[in-house]
């Protein structure tokens, strides 16, 4: 989902937050004296920073000393801010209040299954890694004579991909108050996020063989060796941090209450957040890809819930 569509949908939901609703405020006792289960839907935006760099050994024989240079691939590095649009199903439960003043605080907990709509991000790249093919001229015709360095598809590329399904949960206190004709809840919490990430990448180099002269006229085992290393690993990250949500009762339909909410969450990821992927070519050259994740990720969201709240 493009970010512009996310912003548009978020604007619609935020607009609902300020629409005048049915006068729901009144005696807090019936609501705060009972358990309130609910189910809802939210749209969110999560951001996290990723850094990456790559390095390789110098070329090992065999290679054409007149045309080949060390290293296997030039080093690369980069930094990218990943922005992930998410759609979440929200399950929540609030307890009866345990204090008869100070906003009638009550415990609440929620669990979320969310669909992550983020595209792959590329924190570092060098060259234009892809299918290895003969170079072409300005008109798109393949060259009849060329060098290994000009062959297309050589380079280094590193990717980060979020798992489509993720899990979130949280617990905290809900403080209820009436502002005008509307009933609001202010909900500080401790939040948890389980985020599975696939990191991958690789390097490709076309190495001209000895005795082929300054140029070659074809790509085969008699003229070049094509070295390509592909690496992949899956990591599961666990984040814990603070959250804050504002919710208000918008409409009633029999025993159901429609509530609208907006919130912000921050997650601090624990454990080792660095990964090294290492592979070797057929000639023994080493390719190393280094990934590092920022300790903090942030989430903002808007949504609605239906609560079972009989009169």
Q: Dump pLDDT digits (tens) for 218-256.
A: 999 999 999 999 999 999 999 999 999 999 999 999 899
Q: What is the pLDDT of residue 17?
A: 42
Answer yes or no: is pLDDT of 15 > 70.
no
Nearest residue to 245 (alpha-carbon basis) of 197, 195, 303: 303
Answer yes or no: is pLDDT of 149 > 50.
yes
Q: What is the pLDDT of residue 18?
A: 44
Length of the chain: 311
Which pair of tokens denotes residue 295? 């300790």
Question: Model's pTM, two decimal places?
Answer: 0.82
- pLDDT category of residue 21 using cuts at 50, 70 and 90: very low
Q: What is the pLDDT of residue 1?
A: 44
Give the mean model confidence (pLDDT) for residues 182-208.
94
Q: What is the pLDDT of residue 14?
A: 46
Between 250 and 18, residue with greater pLDDT = 250
Return all residues near 127 (Cβ < 8 A) that are at least 6 apart.
73, 74, 154, 155, 156
Q: What is the pLDDT of residue 146?
A: 93
- pLDDT category of residue 200 using cuts at 50, 70 and 90: very high
Domain-by-domain residue ranges, the chain? 3-308
Q: Do 170 and 192 contact (CB within 8 A), yes or no?
A: yes
Q: What is the pLDDT of residue 7?
A: 46
How far, in Å, CA of 52 to CA of 198, rounded? 14
Q: What is the pLDDT of residue 76?
A: 94
How far, in Å, CA of 139 to CA of 219, rounded? 21
Give the mean model confidence (pLDDT) for residues 151-178.
94
Nearest residue to 249 (alpha-carbon basis) of 135, 43, 54, 94: 94
To 10 degrees, the CA torsion angle through 42, 43, 49, 50? 100
Structure confidence by residue, pLDDT tens digits, 88-110: 999 999 999 998 888 899 999 99
Give the mean model confidence (pLDDT) for residues 63-84.
82
Q: What is the pLDDT of residue 243?
A: 98
| Percent of the chain scoring above 70 in pLDDT | 89
Query: Other C-beta atoms within 10 Å of 281: how many?
Result: 22
Q: What is the pLDDT of residue 27?
A: 52
């Amino acid at each position: 989902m493009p970010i512009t569509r996310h912003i548009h949908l978020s604007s619609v939901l935020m607009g609902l937050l300020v629409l005048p609703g049915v006068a729901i405020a009144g005696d807090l006792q019936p609501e705060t004296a009972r358990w309130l289960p609910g189910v809802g839907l939210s749209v969110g935006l999560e951001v996290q920073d990723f850094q990456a760099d790559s390095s390789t050994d110098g070329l090992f024989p065999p290679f054409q000393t007149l045309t080949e240079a060390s290293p296997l691939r030039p080093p690369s590095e980069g930094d990218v801010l990943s922005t992930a649009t998410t759609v979440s199903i929200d399950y929540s439960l609030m307890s009866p209040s345990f204090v008869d003043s100070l906003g009638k605080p009550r415990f609440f907990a929620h669990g979320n299954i969310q669909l992550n709509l983020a595209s792959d991000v590329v924190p570092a790249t060098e060259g234009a890694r892809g299918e290895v093919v003969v170079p072409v001229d300005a008109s798109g015709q393949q060259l009849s004579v060329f060098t290994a360095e000009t062959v297309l598809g050589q380079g280094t590329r590193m990717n980060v991909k979020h798992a489509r399904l993720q899990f979130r949960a949280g617990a905290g206190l809900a403080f209820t108050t009436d502002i005008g004709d509307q009933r609001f809840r202010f909900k500080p919490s401790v939040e948890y996020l389980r985020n599975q990430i696939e990191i991958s990448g690789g390097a490709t180099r076309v190495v001209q063989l000895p005795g082929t002269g300054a140029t070659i006229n074809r790509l085969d085992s008699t003229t070049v060796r094509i070295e390509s290393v592909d690496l992949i690993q899956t990591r599961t990250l666990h984040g814990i941090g603070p959250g804050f949500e504002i919710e208000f009762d918008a409409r009633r339909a029999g025993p159901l209450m429609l509530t609208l909410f907006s919130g912000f969450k921050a997650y601090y990821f624990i454990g080792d957040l660095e990964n090294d992927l290492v592979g070797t070519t057929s000639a023994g050259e080493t390719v190393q890809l280094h990934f590092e994740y920022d300790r903090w990720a942030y989430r903002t969201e808007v949504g609605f819930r239906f609560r079972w709240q009989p009169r």
